[in-house]
Structures are given as structure tokens and as C-alpha cells.
Structure 1
Amino acid sequence: MSNIYLGIAVNAKKVMIKKLQQWLKQIPIQAYDPLNDEDENHHGNNSNNGKTSPQKTMSSVKDNDLEFLFHQLLQGVANGWQENRIEQFFEKLTPRITVEIWLDWLQRYRNQLMASPAPHYHFAARMIILGEVTASLPFLRPVGDLAYEIGTELLNRRENNPIVESLRSRLNTENETETENELTESASSLGDVLSLLQNNPEFAENTAKELGINTVDPGMIMEKIVQETELESSHFQESVSPETVNDLFNLGLEKAELGDLEEAIAFWDQVLSVDEQFIQAWHNRGSALAYLNRFEEAIHSFDRAIAINVNDYHSWNNRGNALYSLGKWKEAIISWDRVLGVQPNFLSALYHKGLALEKLDLIADAVACYEKCISIDRHHSLSQKALDRCQNLKGR
């Protein structure tokens, strides 16, 4: 199987993604600045004189962990969790994860969701439900209110929505009611549909009846709308041929080559919606996201590629680069060690591992990495400069 830099092997198309290669080469170099005396992470310096700032306390809980827990919560509300069950969920996580931590993370997650080309309609519908259920819980209401706001924002961000068109078709009968005409004439986003469900009981009742559910709760109706549309989409996906999937993948490569990484990601998302085992799409998607500085999302994509092939050293290497860019030196080293377990002479992993070791003030180990790089390629100027830098540090 060809790697991402050579594109796809189906038609021997060799497309170089130059911008992604630049990211792979430049991110660690740019992140390390030996002349920056204000870098509090370098060689163990701490500008807070040993004090832990509130932000650092909050960051002790990883975003990935918060995302996992939040998705569990959303799954619970979709399954009918009410106030008591939601309170228990949060109480079990207190005091390690406070409401303030949830609010801080949700703002970051909001930016991540809004920057993603994927629609995230399920998340949106479930966040609406969470906001509705927590409205009577004073302590948790700020979390519910923010989730509700994010969900509404997601539902409102696309016009000519295919789900809206599908709902129009289902309600479009010869005996259209006034409220169904209102949908046909005015609604262009799921946010409009949500507003109709909230403000027009007749519309909510008719829609619930059409969907076969015994509730007029707007969030639950929205969840059912999204669920049914995704089911219809899955039947379509089953009919998509491998040739079509490969065409979509190649279109992503072409968009990436033109510098339109958001569109490239959208094409690779289409590929993965049909074939979740398409490792090259996960790999490319991760590299594009990393180039866009969306490192947490990139790491998730690399993880998916690695889950398919644990020896995919390109994904391990890029994962290390993304972790380095987040300041997670030890985790980055673990990824690069996995690369070196498969390819012991992989220069990029060796050099970047050296940079991370410097960050951890493990100068002797960093020197060993740079020396090995030079033994592999005596013209590797970056490693030579790094060796000189380490010698200067020793001489201080």
C-alpha cells in the first residue's frame, strides 16, 4: 500500500502534498527556539516560580478525556437520562472536573466543531437535549446553556440542508397543513426546524407522529430526524462502489495540492463515511488537520490509522509531531519510539525525538539522537546545529 505522500495506488497517481510535507518538516523546528528566554517549558524553567496557575490546574485534565466523557453524557441524554442521572454523572467527576473546567473545555470544543467540515448533527441534537434537561438544575445549568448554544449554532450553520429537504419530502402531502407549508417556505437549516418545533406545538406533534415517536420534546424530535436521515445515508453508502471511493480520495488529493485543505478534508470524510478502514484517508486527514493547527483532531485521525495498521510508522511519526506542537514532549517521544521500532534509521523521528529530549532537559540523550542522525546522514545540517547548541548549553 502506498503512503500518503505518493497518493493512491489505484491508478498509479503520484500526487505530492507539498504543504503537508512542509508541516512535517517545520512544526518542530518552529516550536523550538533556543534563544527565547521566556520559554517556561525549556530546561524546566517556570515563570510562575513554582506556583501552579489556574489554567495549568485545568489543563491537568486532558481534552481527549473530557471529550470522551462528554460523548458518554450525550449518549446518556439521548437514551433518556433525566435530571437525577445527569447530576450523578457530574458528581462522580467532582472535584477533579469542575463546572469551570467543563465550561473552559466546551469553548475550545466549540471552536473545534465549528472549524470541522463535518456537520456533527447528532452532537448538536444531543446538546440541545442536554440544555433542555439541565434548565432546572442551577449548578449545572451553565454547562447545559453553553451546550445548547453550541448545538443551536451547529444546526444553524448550513443552508439548503439535505436533512431539511428530506423532512420536507416526508411532510409534503396533498393535505399540507399551514405549519407544514411554513417548513416548505421558510426553513433552510436545522436551526429553523428546531425553532418551529419549539414555537409551534402543532408542527411538533405532526412531525413526531410522522417519525413514529411519542414525544413532542424538540431535542428528542431533532435527534430522531438526524438518526433516520443517517440511516437513509447508510443505505446509500452500501451502494457506493470502490471506484467511487477512490475517486473521492483522489479529489481530496487534488484539493490538498491546490492548498484547499478544508475541502480536501471534506472529501476524505466522505471516503471514511463509506469505508472506515481506508487508512490513507485517515493519514491524509490527520496531516491536513495538523497543518491547520488542529492538532487534537489530527491526533485522533492518526490514532485511527494506527488502529488499522499498528506498524504505520508515518502515522506514528506525524502523531509525534502533533503532540510536540501541543507541548506534550513525553508523549511525542513515545510515538517516535514506535516509529524507530519499525524503522530504526528514520531520520525525522530521530531528530525530532532529540528536540523533545532537549525540552525535557535530557541533553545527553538528545545528543545521542543527533549523533545517530549524523551517522546515518553526515550532511544532516539540522542535527549538526542541534549538537552545537547542546555543546553551548553544556558550556554555560
Structure 2
Amino acid sequence: MLKHLWQRWRGGDTGPSSETESEAALPPLSDADHELLFDQVTEGVLQGWNQPRVQKFFAQMGDRGNTERWVAWLQRYGDRVLASSPDYNLAARLLKYAEADPSALGDAAKVLGQRILAQQQTPLAESVPMTDAIEALFTAGNELYQQGSVVKAIEAWDEAIALKPDFYQAWANRGVALASSGRYTEALASYDQALAIAPDAHDTWSNRGIALRNLDRNEDALASYDQALALKPDYLEAQINRCVVLVALKRLQEALQGYTQVVSLAPQRYEVWLGYGNVMHQLQDLEEAVAAWDRALNLQPNAVLIWEQRGQALLKLKRYEESLASFDQVLAVQPFRNDLVAIKDFLLEEIEGRASRQAYAEAQAEAESAANLPQDAPDTPAE
């Protein structure tokens, strides 16, 4: 269907012989056409399109790619979007698109994205002043959560919210507590309430992404992380979590770019090296994967999963002694792993066989060397 629409917008496979005549015969794009094409180009940007690729997209439309007309359409579209409930995923797409298009259309997309974020999701009652009682409930919730009393903490925050519905921090903390209990759908609702009050809260956008990731809504999670980074580009937690989601989406080159940046910013974080190694492993660069996991293990020596992954990679690289040492680390903690015991037996046989072959080769070389030594001349008998 999209192919046919594209042919219709481009004039089909047949038509006037002149390109000018072909363009003149094409009707203007409708608002629906604009919206469908804009969805396509913003999706392309999310998939990694750069500025030249975006420019090519519009250039292929000829006169229909005119920037002024597209800006006029986006303004009409924006009026309609702003009249409805905020679509934060759309806002994130618009802001991401603006990064790839420095034209007037990109500027208009950025403005619209920011205006969406400035909206409130639901009309809030007039702000209730903070009181000592409300503050005490909030503080009690924080203390209860730190003590591990998650349910009671949520109850305290609920009481605070009942007295002050626009209490952003209480909504945000409530979401964190719900997420820590695995109640991700409820956590998401709390984060959305918090963002309706404070749409520029980068940390809540990032936490929202974590909840969405745990709900297997990876595209939506990515949009939340993008929004967090649009608000605070150097926010490390969102950068790391964004890389995790890109791996889950099999967008490995983008994940690699992200991890390459993150390891330079936070070389002390073992999970960053773990993620970088995992991406390199999936890209079949086993040497680089092992090097990254070694960095992770220097920071977290007891990470059994990394030792196992390292052992498997070294096995594929036929670095048997190092592989054996890795699996020994795992078996020291998990001695019941019969699968690894079998691998260890195989490695021992290979190492022993390799040593035997090496010893034989050395003996052969020594024998050949001795055979090639010059022989002493026979003794001359005395006359």
C-alpha cells in the first residue's frame, strides 16, 4: 500500500515524458499525506538517518518537498495535536527529528515538541500550598522506603497526594517504589502523573523508560530515554539505559555508538563494559568482547555471568587455557553446573592433546636439527 501511495505522490510509473509536466500533473499533498510521510521520515531518524538522508527524502519529492509548505503543514498539525491530550512519544520523536534537520522544518518540529511537553496531561486543581503535615507525610514515605517498607511508603505518599494532588515529588517517588516491587504498569501511571505536573523532569522520563522496558515496550522506552536526554544531554543513566534498549531492539550499530560514548564518560561502571562487550559479542568481534569483559571483571570480580560469557568466547577463539580459567571461576560458585563440567573436561583434553602435540613437534624439530648437524671427519690412522 505504501509503495502505491509513494508512486501516486511521485506520479506513478507512467505519465508525461517531461519531469516538469509530471510534477505539474500531481495534486498537492493533503494533510493526511503530509502526516504519513512525516511519520516515515521521523521513523527514519529514529533508525539512524542523518541530515543528508533526511534532505534526500524531501528532495525526491520535488516541489512537494518545499520546506515552507511543510512548515505550514506542521503548524496546522501542531494546532490539532495541542488541542488533545499530550503525546509524549510524539514529542520525543519531534525533538529527535530536530537534531537531524537544521532547516526551518526542524526548528518547527523542535518548537512543537517543546510545546507538547509543556502541556499538562490532565487539568489540575489550583495548586495547594505545601504544609508541614504534607511535608511530614512525604518525608515519612521516603524514610519508610529506605527501610524497605515499600507498601507503607506508598501509603504515606498517597496521603500526601490526597492533600496536594500536584505534588510532583510524591508522584515520582511513588512510581519508583511501585517499580521496585515489579508493579510496572502502576509505576508508569505514577510517572505520567508526575510528568503532567513537571514535564521537564529528566530523571522521571528516564525512570518511565525503565518501567516501559520491563513491560517489553521497547520503542516507547526508547522515546522516554530520548526525551530525558533532550532535557539533559549528559544524563548518564538515561544514556546507559538507552543503549540497553537499542540492544533489545537489535539496533546494534546504534547501541555500539552509544556504548562507545558511555565507556569514555563512565569507565568506572562495570555494567557499561558488560554492555559494550555484549554488543561486540553479537557483532562477532570476540577479541574486543573479551577485552571489554576483562574491564568489567576488574571492577566486579564476582560477576559469574561475565566469567561464563568470557569462557564461551575464549572457547570459540580456541584460547583454551584462558577459557578453562574462566569456567573454573563459575564452577567455584556453581559446582552443580554439569554443562560446564563437560566443557571443562573437553578443554582439559584439548589442552593435554595440544601439549602432547607440541612436545612431539619439539622432539621432531630437535631430531631434525641433530640430523642436519655437520659430521666430524673420521680419525686419520697414525702412520
Same fold (TM over 0.5): no
Q: Which has the higher contact order (CA 8 A, sep 6+)?
A: 1
TM-score relative to the length of structure 1: 0.44
TM-score relative to the length of structure 2: 0.45
Work out which of the two has the higher radius of gyration on C-alpha atoms and give 1 or 2.
Answer: 2
